Structure 1
Amino acid sequence: MSHDEWDERDDEARLRAERIAAETVERSLAPYRGLVPEEMLAQLREAIEDELVNNPCSAALLRQLTARPAPASSGEVPIEGAPPYGRDRDRHGGAAGGGWEGA
């Protein structure tokens, strides 16, 4: 995969992360709209965004959600850069991490 393709994938992942974060913030603020002043909504928005990005647990979950899009169908797909049958194993060796993952 070329450097440009990686950059494009990273950009897509970043955009998905931003979209998911924005949707999460909007869902979180929805019950408070019309009940609290706009300044408080702005403070709540900032606090939620900060928590999503800086809390290790929520940041890890966000990364998992944006790591790659869901596959169109189930099956096995090759893992980029992995040896085809795992490290030091032939195809019948039964080693985990044999270069394929479920989709």
Structure 2
Amino acid sequence: MSHEDEEIDEERLRTARVVAETVERSLAPYRGLVPEEMLAQLREAIEDELVKNPYSVALLRQLMARPAPESSGEVPREGAPLDGRDPGRTGGAAGGGREGA
């Protein structure tokens, strides 16, 4: 990845909703306790860590690629047969095609 691509990716992450929500949740306990200037410094430090640290960047990319579902329940695994049966399997009922099964 070129330096220019990294800058574009960093800007995209900085504007991501998940980053904004994480920063706001992190700052919430300090509101009203510390001066606004300190909150601004904390905001910048937290955001920088989120968008520059390779580990947090990898997690953010995963979150952005597969957003949280609207409701809970079973999610079919990609490539699993719709009826839950694998024609290549014989015998028991395992392999129903649901993650976490």
TM-score, with length taken from structure 1: 0.55
**Could you tell me the percent identity over the aligned residues?**
73
The one of 5, 24, 27 aligned to 1:26: 24
What does residue 99 of structure 1 align with? Answer: none
Structure 1 residue runs of 4+, over 3 Å off?
Answer: 69-73
Letter in 2 for 1:76: R
How far has the Cα of 1:76 moved from its partner?
Answer: 3.5
What does residue 75 of structure 1 align with? Answer: 76
Gaps (5+ residues) in structure 1? 1-13, 79-90, 93-101
TM-score, with length taken from structure 2: 0.56
Deviations 1:41-74 (A, max 9, x none): 0000000000000001111111111112356852
Give, in whole Å, the separation in 1 of the partners of 2:61 and 2:68.
14
Q: 1:75 to 1:51 in 2, by over 3 A?
A: same
Give, in whole Å, the separation in 1 of the partners of 2:77 and 2:32.
49
Give, in whole Å, the separation in 1 of the partners of 2:29 and 2:57.
24
Give, in whole Å, the separation in 2 of the partners of 1:42 and 1:61.
24
What is the root-mean-square deviation of aligned Cα atoms in Å? 3.2
Gaps (5+ residues) in structure 2? 1-11, 80-86, 89-98
Give, in whole Å, the separation in 2 of the partners of 1:35 and 1:76.
47
